[in-house]
């Protein structure tokens, strides 16, 4: 097992760059996430896109007029993001693109951002519960009081549901049993570590790590399409069928059943506002 995910990102950055838009199935993660961003984000402000890869969300948010700081663990991703930002017409709104670790955001002061994003599952790639909690607390720390925090992670039940189609040979191994019982996958993409959360664990870990923040919404990003990737891509060729499917998906993606079946799930939280202490005599 290799604990340092930087090597993976540095080797496979091209794959990550196109993942969210490579086909109809993968586009559900991006489009569903963006619906929640549009629903909850303030009309303007400074956003931290932490673990933002090659800047897919950064560039789209910059186009909408938001000021964005992009942070990612991989220099390759940041270098590619800078090229994409430069080509976009919204580059002036990207205030910085830096290499950094979501478990240590000490370069940013408390209460710096009007919203904080950690999308696509970088939290799942952190080895160890305490470090994952540290990352969540850091994401909340740099958010302003009352700011929105958006985090998406990989879901254990969604991963198990696609196992027979995606990696049937691994189901015969101890790693599969470990994944099913603990959520820890020590053979992710062959040799890396990944933690798959259950929805309940995700909520509980966030509440433990960010006691002053309130969870206001959750969603399953691929939802009921999770176990039918090839069929979904075929379905998308029929415009009417695809519209009906996505309309259904957007209506049901916040139900507990759909959240539980999805490969990725999104949590939206609001950081608590500071309360003035009453003077005591």
- Domain membership flag for residue 67: yes
- Domain membership flag for residue 212: yes
pLDDT averaged over every residue in the chain: 91
- Domain membership flag for residue 32: yes
- CA distance readout (Å), 198 to 104, 142, 194: 25, 26, 13
Per-residue confidence (pLDDT) for residue 165, from 0 to 100: 87
- Domain membership flag for residue 75: yes
CB 251 within 8 A of CB 193: no
- Domain membership flag for residue 31: yes
Residues 243 and 11: their CA atoms lie apart, in Å, by: 36
Give the contacts of 3 (CB within 8 A, at least 6 positions apart).
127, 193
Range of the domain at 213: 6-271
Give the contacts of 66 (CB within 8 A, at least 6 positions apart).
41, 44, 45, 46, 47, 93
Residue 61 has pLDDT above 60, yes or no: yes
190 confidence band (pLDDT: 50, 70, 90) = confident
Residues 204 and 180: their CA atoms lie apart, in Å, by: 18
Per-residue confidence (pLDDT) for residue 187, from 0 to 100: 86
Give the contacts of 245 (CB within 8 A, at least 6 positions apart).
225, 232, 235
Q: How many structural domains does the chain have?
A: 1
State pLDDT tens for residues 127-186.
Answer: 999 999 999 999 999 999 999 999 999 999 999 999 998 889 989 999 999 999 999 998
Report the CATH number at residue 201: 3.40.50.150
Residue 4 has pLDDT above 70, yes or no: no
- Domain membership flag for residue 276: no
- Domain membership flag for residue 27: yes
CB 94 within 8 A of CB 62: yes
- Domain membership flag for residue 281: no
The residue-averaged pLDDT of 232-256 equals 97
State pLDDT tens for residues 164-179.
Answer: 988 899 899 999 999 9
Q: Which of 65, 69, 28 has the alpha carbon at shortest distance from 50?
A: 69
State pLDDT tens for residues 95-106.
Answer: 999 999 999 999
pTM for the model: 0.93
State pLDDT tens for residues 31-55.
Answer: 999 999 999 999 999 999 999 988 9
Residues 68 and 47: their CA atoms lie apart, in Å, by: 5
């Amino acid at each position: 097992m290799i604990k340092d995910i930087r090597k993976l990102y540095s080797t496979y950055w091209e794959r990550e760059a196109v993942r969210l838009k490579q086909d109809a199935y993968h586009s559900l993660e991006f489009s569903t996430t963006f619906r929640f961003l549009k629903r909850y984000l303030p009309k303007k402000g400074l956003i931290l896109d932490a673990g933002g890869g090659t800047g897919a969300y950064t560039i789209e948010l910059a186009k909408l007029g938001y000021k964005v700081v992009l942070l990612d663990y991989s220099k390759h991703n940041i270098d590619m993001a800078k090229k994409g930002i430069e080509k976009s017409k919204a580059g002036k709104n990207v205030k910085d693109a830096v290499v950094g670790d979501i478990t240590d955001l000490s370069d940013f002061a408390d209460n710096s951002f009007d919203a904080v994003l950690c999308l696509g599952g970088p939290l799942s790639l952190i080895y160890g519960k305490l470090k994952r909690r540290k990352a969540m607390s850091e994401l909340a720390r740099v958010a302003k009081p009352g700011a929105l925090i958006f985090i998406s992670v990989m879901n254990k039940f969604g991963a198990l549901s696609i196992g027979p189609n995606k990696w049937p040979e691994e189901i015969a191994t101890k790693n599969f049993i470990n994944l099913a019982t603990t959520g820890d996958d020590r053979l992710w993409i062959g040799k890396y570590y990944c933690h798959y959360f259950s929805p309940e664990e995700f909520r509980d870990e966030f509440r433990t790590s960010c006691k002053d923040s309130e969870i206001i919404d959750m969603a399953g990003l691929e939802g009921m399409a999770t176990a039918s990737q090839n069929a979904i891509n075929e379905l998308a060729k029929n415009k009417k069928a695809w519209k009906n499917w996505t309309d259904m998906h957007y209506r049901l993606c916040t139900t507990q059943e759909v959240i539980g079946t999805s490969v990725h799930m999104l949590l939206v939280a609001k950081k608590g506002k500071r309360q003035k202490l009453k003077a005591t005599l």
